[in-house]
Structure 1
């Protein structure tokens, strides 16, 4: 008989826009999952309901992560540095807004050191699967996202992805396209590699669909030891994706 006991899953970045969706979706599937969240501040913890299963920790501080990973089966990493717009931008005057990262919260600290700390802590705790949500665009060092706040965000994300792929822990790396705040389950999802999808008209994806892909990856063996780009067709084009096993089987790229 298959092991039907629920998997214990930790979602980091659970206070973020995609993280909140993953955390809530897992919470709804109590027969399959025991969920924990990890957030950076008590305010974020309150924002997602303040339950006892939400840990407050700073991913830049390796020791602070350790309690949250004890006894988990899987880890979903959704932490990311967030660029902020410099005040005083007036869209009516044309030009482009300028962005910055708060001191100590640059991509190097959050997306590289912070994710490396999470991978190390999870590996030491014996975790069986790590799902990391990254971003398309990482094959191009001159991608515009890298110039935001001089943060080189895609460079550092890719470094963390490589570290995970080399860790020996079963992994799934999902490099999402441009994230949209739209309903999930309405679109045909597309997997690709090496940013090929960026050359097409299908470069975006609803956050809810990325969240669902993370949860499906927890349950589908074909998602392990793979890294892929993920985007979606526009609504009303194609058939909404229901069979995630078939979707994950479309790619065999390990990085």
Structure 2
């Protein structure tokens, strides 16, 4: 990839909490990137500025994604099913809230079919690199996240990751720890595999750091054909990560 001309990057789920950060960061780095976003509704498009480079499409409909991926060099997949809390939960009474997914927006439809559609469309359009953001916990079918709304979200995410790894398109699969809404760039990032980080005290990461890793992955060959878990040390311990090439070199697993 020539360093001179900027690469065109499509971010899907661009109105989500992490997607918004990726879209904004790409926009700020005009010398390197041409940003595009994909969102599900006109309302979401307005939420992130309503620019012409934001496409509105339902990822569950394969045909609708096609225009957004034309002429794209790289795709960052940040779409995800979102469980909603059932009304009537009273924290003062103890117990746990119950969750549900809206009809048609279960993980099977969003995280499996929706991601598969994106991968197929990107491959057909000649996209050269796909970054897919998932979650740690996928090695454990009994992970609590799977029971939320009976959605099996990690099972379906992992199925989509496997589909991407088998697609032949160069990929980077990023399985993030617990996401925090805090400033990025101030912590030391740690990579692992097979959920080993879940056995440690360092299993969270800021959305801003995940967003940065997505964008950095597009710039290094060392990030391709890799899948890794990522978290960070607490702020104030370790050295904030600056050398992303070095970070990707530490990732050795293909899946």
Q: Secondary structure at the match of 1:231?
A: strand
The corresponding residue for 2:50 is 50
Residues 1:191 and 2:191 are matched in the alignment = yes
Structure 1 distance, partners of 2:240, 2:3, is: 30
The corresponding residue for 2:114 is 114
TM-score when normalising by structure 2: 0.99
The corresponding residue for 1:238 is 238
Residues 1:163 and 2:163 are matched in the alignment = yes
Q: Secondary structure at the match of 2:209?
A: helix
Structure 2: runs of 5+ lacking an equivalent: none
Q: 1:143 to 1:40 in 2, by over 3 A?
A: same
Q: CA RMSD in A?
A: 0.8
User: How many correspondences in the alignment?
Assistant: 255
The corresponding residue for 1:251 is 251
Structure 2 distance, partners of 1:114, 1:155, is: 14
The offset of 1:251, in angstroms, is: 1.5
Structure 2 distance, partners of 1:2, 1:161, is: 28
What per-residue deviation string (whole Å, max 9, x for no partner) do you get for residues 29-75 of structure 1?
00100010000000000000000000000000000000000000000
The corresponding residue for 1:152 is 152
Q: Secondary structure at the match of 1:219?
A: coil
Structure 1 runs (4+) greater than 3 angstroms displaced:
none
Structure 2 distance, partners of 1:155, 1:143, is: 10
The offset of 1:252, in angstroms, is: 1.2
TM-score when normalising by structure 1: 0.99
Q: Secondary structure at the match of 2:198?
A: helix
The corresponding residue for 1:202 is 202
The offset of 1:2, in angstroms, is: 4.2
The corresponding residue for 2:20 is 20
Structure 1: runs of 5+ lacking an equivalent: none
Structure 1 distance, partners of 2:2, 2:201, is: 42
Residues 1:131 and 2:131 are matched in the alignment = yes
Structure 2 distance, partners of 1:237, 1:199, is: 19
What per-residue deviation string (whole Å, max 9, x for no partner) do you get for residues 189-223 of structure 1?
00000000000000100000000000000001100
The corresponding residue for 1:224 is 224
The corresponding residue for 1:83 is 83
Structure 2 distance, partners of 1:2, 1:12, is: 24
Structure 1 segment 53-68 matched on structure 2, within 5 A: 53-68=53-68
Q: Secondary structure at the match of 1:145?
A: helix
Structure 2 distance, partners of 1:3, 1:153, is: 38
Q: Secondary structure at the match of 1:103?
A: coil
Q: Secondary structure at the match of 2:179?
A: strand
Structure 2 distance, partners of 1:156, 1:178, is: 18
